[in-house]
């Protein structure tokens, strides 16, 4: 038998094969092509140094970069890829660098953050003020806007009422001055007719009192008319003079009643306070100074407090259609917890009214004074007083009444959500311009 060659030892390399040097692992990756004399292809892991094990992925090309074709997605690993996965993010996203804005494009919230709420929508404003609780500036501007929104009716009514009031006061002043002149003794006479002087003084007082009472009635009438116009103007409605009077006429007598009741109450309180001080002075003499001051200051504070609490009785009576006592109660309840605010607004309105009156009356008074210097007649002074009363009333009557009416509406919007009722009234208007204010109060 011929002898067979011995079987190759599997632990020995075959003849002609490459044998790794000492210290190298016998398990080597397959050879790879070289490029331009270099060792390995571009993008492949370089070979290990002698005596070191090859790194993971040795001899394999790295995966494509993120977002490049061939990059594995979640779907290739058995999961559904989210929309937009594997795509290049839009400009502006990604971690911010030095001096760059935060995540996301300008004006957008950063990733992982909740978008902030935007500004609330503006309140509807069908008329002179927005239908929401009002600030002081908005309230005063609304009072002036009443004149701008319906100048024909507002200024026409103010001019008519002021003209009648100025005429009556001018006539009363004229007669009063005439009676005073008649009571003066004749030049060169030493006799004094007490009866004639007393009659002249009483006649002069009556001549002033009657026009003052009529002027007070006209003030009440003007207040009611302008409160009606304010209630309609808040809803964007413009009334003429006949419509305004038709809305006020059923409430005119109660309006006079509540005004007289508040006025008489104030006079009685002042008379009582003065009577107590005089009684103390007669009883204890000079020692009554200190308790008199205490009573005077305390009584004045009490009168101011009650006046502010009842200052909204007229708007409540006109707009809600309630009675005299109910209007006083409504005003007392509405001013609760807002007394200081109401006082401040009333004082501010009074200051503005006084400034407007001064601006109007000072030039007229100066002209009358100059005219009186060239003659000894009372005519320039009397005429100047009437003209000043007329012009000042045209400006101040609507403003004062509008401030009171808007203050009443503002407190009802704050306390009773009247703004919701007014919005509904704008959607479904009624023939009665004040119907929205007469709904049931919570």
Q: What are the pLDDT digits (tens) for 162-183?
A: 999 888 888 877 777 776 666 5
Contact indicator for 162, 389 with CB cutoff of 8 Å = yes
Considering only CA atoms, give the Rg of the chain. 47
The alpha carbon dihedral of 334, 337, 342, 347 has a sign of positive
Q: How many residues does the chain have?
A: 442
Could you report the per-residue pLDDT of 227-259, keeping only the tens digit for each? 999 999 999 999 999 999 999 999 999 999 999
- 48 pLDDT higher than 60: no
Could you report the per-residue pLDDT of 317-375, keeping only the tens digit for each? 999 989 999 999 999 999 999 999 999 999 999 999 999 888 888 888 787 777 666 66
Contact indicator for 208, 240 with CB cutoff of 8 Å = no
Q: How far is CA 32 from CA 14, 44, 236, in A?
A: 21, 10, 89
Within 10 angstroms of residue 258's Cβ, the number of other Cβ atoms is: 25
Dist CA 384 CA 366 (whole Å):
9
Q: What pLDDT shows up at residue 212?
A: 78
Dist CA 217 CA 211 (whole Å):
10
Q: Which of residues 2 and 145 earns the better pLDDT score?
A: 145
Instruction: Give one DSSP letter per residue of 16-51, joined into a string.
Output: T---PPTTS-S--PPP---STT-SS-TTSPPPPPTT
Average pLDDT over residues 267-286: 89
- 99 pLDDT higher than 50: no
Dist CA 413 CA 402 (whole Å):
16
Contact indicator for 414, 371 with CB cutoff of 8 Å = no
């Amino acid at each position: 038998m011929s002898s067979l060659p011995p079987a190759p030892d599997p632990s020995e390399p075959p003849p002609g094969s490459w044998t790794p040097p000492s210290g190298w692992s016998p398990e080597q990756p397959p050879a790879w092509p070289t490029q331009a004399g270099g060792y390995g292809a571009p993008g492949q892991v370089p070979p290990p140094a002698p005596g070191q094990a090859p790194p993971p992925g040795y001899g394999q090309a790295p995966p494509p970069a993120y977002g490049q074709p061939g990059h594995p997605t979640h779907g290739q690993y058995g999961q559904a890829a989210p929309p937009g996965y594997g795509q290049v993010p839009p400009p502006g996203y990604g971690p911010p660098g030095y001096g760059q804005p935060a995540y996301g494009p300008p004006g957008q919230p950063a990733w992982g953050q909740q978008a902030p709420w935007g500004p609330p929508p503006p309140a509807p404003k069908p008329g002179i003020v927005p239908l929401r609780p009002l600030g002081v500036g908005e309230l005063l501007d609304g009072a002036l806007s009443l004149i701008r929104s319906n100048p024909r009716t507002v200024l026409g009514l103010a001019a008519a009422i002021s003209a009648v009031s100025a005429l009556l006061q001018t006539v009363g002043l004229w007669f009063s001055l005439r009676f005073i002149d008649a009571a003066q003794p004749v030049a060169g006479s030493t006799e004094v007719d007490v009866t004639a002087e007393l009659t002249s003084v009483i006649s002069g007082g009556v001549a002033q009192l009657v026009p003052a009472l009529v002027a007070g009635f006209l003030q009440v009438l003007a207040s009611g008319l302008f409160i009606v116009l304010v209630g309609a103007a808040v809803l964007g409605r413009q009334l003429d003079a006949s419509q305004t009077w038709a809305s006020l006429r059923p409430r005119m007598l109660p309006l006079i009643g509540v005004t007289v009741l508040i006025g008489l109450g104030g006079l009685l309180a002042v008379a009582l306070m003065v009577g107590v001080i005089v009684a103390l002075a007669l009883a204890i003499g000079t020692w009554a100074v200190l308790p008199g001051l205490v009573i005077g200051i305390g009584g004045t504070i009490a009168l101011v407090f009650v006046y502010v609490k009842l200052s909204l009785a007229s708007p409540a009576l006109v707009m809600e259609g309630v009675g005299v006592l109910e209007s006083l109660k409504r005003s007392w309840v509405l001013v609760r917890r807002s007394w200081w605010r109401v006082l401040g607004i009333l004082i501010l309105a009074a200051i503005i009214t006084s400034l407007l009156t001064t601006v109007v009356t000072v030039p007229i008074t100066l002209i009358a004074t100059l005219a009186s210097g060239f003659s000894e007649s009372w005519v320039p002074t009397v005429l100047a007083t009437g003209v000043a009363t007329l012009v000042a009333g045209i400006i101040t009557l609507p403003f004062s009444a509008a401030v009171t009416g808007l203050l009443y509406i503002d407190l009802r919007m704050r306390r009773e959500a009247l703004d919701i009722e007014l919005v509904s009234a704008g959607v479904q208007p009624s023939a009665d311009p004040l119907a929205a204010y007469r709904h049931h109060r919570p």
